[in-house]
Amino acid sequence: MGKVMHFEITADDVARAKKFYEIFGWKINDANMQGLGTMRYLVAKTGEGESGTDGAIMTREFRSEPTIIWISVDNLDEMIDKVQAAGGKTAGERHSVPGIGDTIYIKDTEGNTVGLIQPLPRQ
């Protein structure tokens, strides 16, 4: 629990950002996520197997922050309560991402956005 397991990099031009981040050897592909309107969301694989922390490059129309880390939690509801008790707050609605798990953005006490995810059990 508490492992940083995902990141999101926002960009004005995701194709340009994709080209830049490929210099690190990342494999970057369109996530083909439905229901996002015109937002582009590219999945960035930064290592093989358990090596690396995978992430994404997405358009700024969804979130304006330059980089967002994602933290894996065992129980999203309990963690939301802990975030609020520690002075943080939720920043948007909870979402279920098919094949991934339940997610929510939070704001820490400094105003930084962090993503929390309760991943689906591994098969």
pLDDT tens per residue, range 49-62: 776 788 988 888 87
The CA–CA distances, whole Å, from 1 to 36, 52, 117, 119 equal 29, 17, 10, 11
What pLDDT is stored for residue 94 in this prediction?
Answer: 92
Domains observed in the chain: 1-67 (3.10.180.10), 73-123 (3.10.180.10)
Kindly report the pTM of this predicted structure: 0.68
**Alpha-carbon gap, residue 54 to 16, rounded angstroms:** 19
**Alpha-carbon gap, residue 114 to 29, rounded angstroms:** 23
pLDDT tens per residue, range 6-25: 898 888 888 899 998 898 78
Angle, CA of 59, 84 and 113, to the nearest 5° = 20
